[in-house]
Amino acid sequence: MIGIIGGSGLYESFRDMSDRKTDIMHTPHGVIDYTTGSWMGERIAFIPRHGPEHDLPPHRVRFKANIWALRELGVRRLVGTCAVGTLNQKIPPGRITVPDQLIDLTKETRSFFNGRREGVRHVDMTEPFCPALREVVREVSVETGPSVHIGGTYACFSGPTFETAAEIRMVKVLGGDLVGMTLAPEAKLAREAGICYLPVCMPVNWAAGLTRELLSHKQTLEQVGQMKGELVNLIRWSLGRFPKERDCPCAREH
């Protein structure tokens, strides 16, 4: 089964699955809503990141419950979609991007490995996102024509406020290309769970201080609305080509 976590403005886009069934799961980390079904010949488990009513801001997203539930459902390959701000002139708003690196600037540590009886465990995050799934998307984008940027560094803040202009200047010095509020905890928990994680980002605006325009969630949803068709098609065309056997860093025992 392949997992998809949908971000802002994308919930409706993944509801055309056949044999669709929506349910809830009680996990040790909270109750989550999920939908399973068939899509493009693949079994899919879909979770709305911010809840089915989109009422969970980034700092309250149930990251551990979401990843736990997907693992319980048998998911070993996971696509996380998200809206982001961009700092890179080569990645303008509107250009789908699949980053390959991560800077975690969030304030809360989320982990399944909390010591005591299980001991201390550390997970390698040299490559935070699955290189095998990223290569599939690169090949699909070349063949089908969508203007997808492959590579780049995502800097993750806790939110729910947008970043300050000074924070964006800091991220630029650190080598960041994109900014958002969700990928760091999701990617790290997926790695701990042994799940291949592929981020597919939608740059919806220039980051704070790069233009005179003020940032807003309304602006985010409007830009997502313009990009979601292309993004959904990219994922749709990629699913059947995800490798069935895994020899990537994500599959290693921790």
What sections of the chain are H helices per DSSP?
63-72, 131-144, 165-174, 183-192, 217-239
Q: Which of 100, 51, 115, 42 is nearest to 74 (CA)?
A: 42
Kindly report the backbone phi and psi dihedral angles of residue 232, in degrees, each rounded to the nearest multiple of 5, phi listed first.
-60, -40
Query: Residue 56 is inside which H or E element, if any?
Result: none
Q: For position 117, what pLDDT does the model report?
A: 76
Tell me how far apart the alpha carbons of residues 249 and 136 are, in angstroms, rounded to a whole number.
Answer: 16
Angle between helices 217-239 and 131-144 (to 10 degrees): 90
User: Would the pLDDT of 105 be above 90?
Assistant: yes
Q: Convert the pLDDT of each residue in 121-137 to its tens digit.
A: 889 999 999 999 999 99
What letter would DSSP give residue 245?
A: S
Q: For position 8, what pLDDT does the model report?
A: 61
Kindly report the backbone phi and psi dihedral angles of residue 17, in degrees, each rounded to the nearest multiple of 5, phi listed first.
-80, 145
Residue 168's pLDDT band (cuts 50, 70, 90): very high
Q: For position 146, what pLDDT does the model report?
A: 67
Three-state secondary-structure class, residue 68? helix
Q: Convert the pLDDT of each residue in 134-162 to its tens digit.
A: 999 999 999 887 689 999 999 999 999 99
User: Would the pLDDT of 243 be above 70?
Assistant: yes
Q: For position 247, what pLDDT does the model report?
A: 87
Residue 11's pLDDT band (cuts 50, 70, 90): low
Q: What is the mean pLDDT of residues 95-105?
A: 97
Mean pLDDT, the chain, rounded, equals 90
Cα angle 211, 212, 214 (rounded to 5 degrees) comes to 100
Three-state secondary-structure class, residue 208? coil
Kindly report the backbone phi and psi dihedral angles of residue 144, in degrees, each rounded to the nearest multiple of 5, phi listed first.
-100, -15
Residue 48's pLDDT band (cuts 50, 70, 90): very high
Q: What's the number of CA atoms in the CB half-sphere (13 Å) around residue 117?
A: 1
Tell me how far apart the alpha carbons of residues 139 and 97 are, in angstroms, rounded to a whole number.
Answer: 14
Q: For position 144, what pLDDT does the model report?
A: 81
Q: For position 30, what pLDDT does the model report?
A: 95
Tokens, residue 49 = 């990141």
Cα angle 177, 181, 183 (rounded to 5 degrees) comes to 75
Q: What is the mean pLDDT of residues 183-196?
A: 96
Count of Cβ atoms closer than 10 Å to residue 145 Cβ: 9
Residue 113's pLDDT band (cuts 50, 70, 90): confident
Give the least confident one: 8-22, 106-120, 237-251: 8-22
Count of Cβ atoms closer than 10 Å to residue 72 Cβ: 13
Q: What is the mean pLDDT of residues 162-172?
A: 96
What residues does 6 pair with on adjacent strands? 48
Residue pair 166/114 in contact (Cβ under 8 Å)? The answer is no
Q: Convert the pLDDT of each residue in 193-226 to its tens digit.
A: 999 999 999 999 999 989 877 777 777 777 777 7
Q: Domains in the chain, start-ordered, CATH in brackets?
A: 2-242 (3.40.50.1580)
Q: For position 10, what pLDDT does the model report?
A: 67
What whole-number percentage of the chain has pLDDT above 70? 95
